[in-house]
Structures are given as C-alpha cells and as structure tokens.
Amino acid sequence: MEWFPPASFFYSNRCKMNLSNFQNETLLSRLDEVIEENGNNEPPRDYLGASAVGDVCSRRQWYKLQGHQEKFKARTLRLFQDGHDTEAKILSWLHRVPEFEVYDHNDGEQYGFSDLGGRYKGHYDGIIRGIPEAPKTWHILEVKTTAEKHFRAVERLIEKHGEKAALEAWRPEYYAQAMTYCWYEKLTRHITIISTPGGRDLLTIRTNSNHIFAKSLRDKAQRILEATQPPVRISDRSDWYQCKMCSFNKMCHEGEK
C-alpha cells in the first residue's frame, strides 16, 4: 500500500516549501546548511574560558572577546554534538558504579569557577572519588571524545611519557584546563576519560596538579582580558599551519573586518 502524507502536512508546510530553493542541492547539503545555520548562531562569549586559556594563540582569544565569532562547518558541529552525547553517556555509566562518588551538577548547574569579575571562568564535567587507582582522593573529572587515530596516539604517548605526563604531551590546552580546575577547587588530582565516539573505546589519564602553572594561566587570562590592542601573532605567515585554518586568518593577517 502506497503511503501519502496526511493533509495536515501539506497545510502546515506549504508556505515553507519553495522548490526553487532545492535546485542543485542534495539532502545532505541541505542538512549541512541547517546545521551550520543553527550551530553558528550562539551569542559571543564575553569571558575567557578555562578551555581556551591554554590556546597557543592569545590573539585568537582576544578577537573572540571583542565579539567576533568563529564559524564552524557542519562536520565540526556534528563532532561537537557527538562529544556532548558521549560525555553524557559516560557520566551515566559512572553513576551506576556503587563505589564511585560522582558529582556533576550542583542544583542543576555544572561545577565550575568564576574569577576576574566573572570574565575568566570555566565548568568541568564533575568531581569523582572512589576510583581503584586512588580510592580516597578526590579528582577533577573531564571526559574527552576523539577520533580513533588520536585515541591510538594517546595510547602511544602514555607508553612513551608515562600516564602523568601524557595529557600535556597530547593536548597542552587540555592540560591547562585541567590544572586550572584543580587550582580553583584546591584539589591535587585530575582524571581525564578519553573516548572514541559513542564510548566504544575508553582509556584514562590521571594527572597531578600544578598550581604554579595554573596561577600563571590566570595571569595570562588577565593580560588578554585587559589588552586594548591585539596580542602578537604566533606567526607573520598566514599559511602557517596554526594560522591557515583559523576563522580569524584574514582579520589577523590582512586587516579584514
């Protein structure tokens, strides 16, 4: 039996359907357009986050604080959403382990910190105690999702550098974020659960706190927030590998608004 949409479908959608708009498009290209339209309409942040303070390019963070927004392709936005979904899944698994004390929300809000008049802040995934590696020690908890090839690279870094140094060797910005959270919570340990998409493969990295480094990051945040001119570029070459994919490449190197 052939299926037909109900009459209400045509009534409610006929004003939205302009077939001329669909010429030279495919289902997936149209889907990407809508993902980008919705995913890039977040209001600009008026603060510097702990997830960004470890960025090698202070200039990029300064631009964002001036109200300029990064634009992401649909695939990147889907990766972000995949990370959020995987994080929620892993946190739900952790809550099921009776030995673990896991706190990921305080009265409905994520745990975090706020400093420098609310212009430097961050939120972490949770706090955990009872893990077999150190059952009496509270750890800041973060969940990171990454592609399979990067997951295997982390495994090699743990082998090469040891677990305690692997996070900094893998992603310095994640290390900066971890140390910042430890400092503000006055904790001495951080644990990162690293996952492939969907939680198929998991590994952990435990890291010791470094409060001196965290304090230096706070000083760096203050310098960026108080700067009246863009900080120095990390390279004068627009095709430098860290510059060429940046949303602010033309603004930074060519003076475009």
User: Residue 98's domain spans which residues?
Assistant: 50-251
- Please tell me the pTM assigned to this model: 0.85
* pLDDT value for 18: 54
- Is residue 21 situated within a structural domain? no
- Is residue 197 situated within a structural domain? yes
- Is residue 29 situated within a structural domain? no
Burial class (CB in 10 A: 0-12, 13-18, 19+), 251: middle
pLDDT at position 136 over 90? yes
pLDDT at position 1 over 80? no
* pLDDT value for 6: 65
Q: Which of 144, 43, 141 is nearest to 100 (CA)?
A: 141
pLDDT digits (tens, 9 = 90+) for 60-118: 999 999 988 888 899 988 998 998 999 999 999 999 999 999 999 766 778 899 999 99
- Is residue 128 situated within a structural domain? yes
- Is residue 143 situated within a structural domain? yes
Per-residue pLDDT band for 256 (boundaries 50, 70, 90) equals low
Provide φ and ψ at 140, rounded to 5°: -65, 135
d(CA 139, CA 178): 10
CATH code for position 228: 3.90.320.10
Number of domains comprising the chain? 1
pLDDT digits (tens, 9 = 90+) for 205-230: 999 999 999 999 999 999 999 999 99
- Is residue 45 situated within a structural domain? no
Q: Do the bridges between strand 48-49 and strand 120-123 make them parallel or antiparallel, or are there none, so unpaired?
A: parallel
pLDDT digits (tens, 9 = 90+) for 27-37: 999 999 998 88
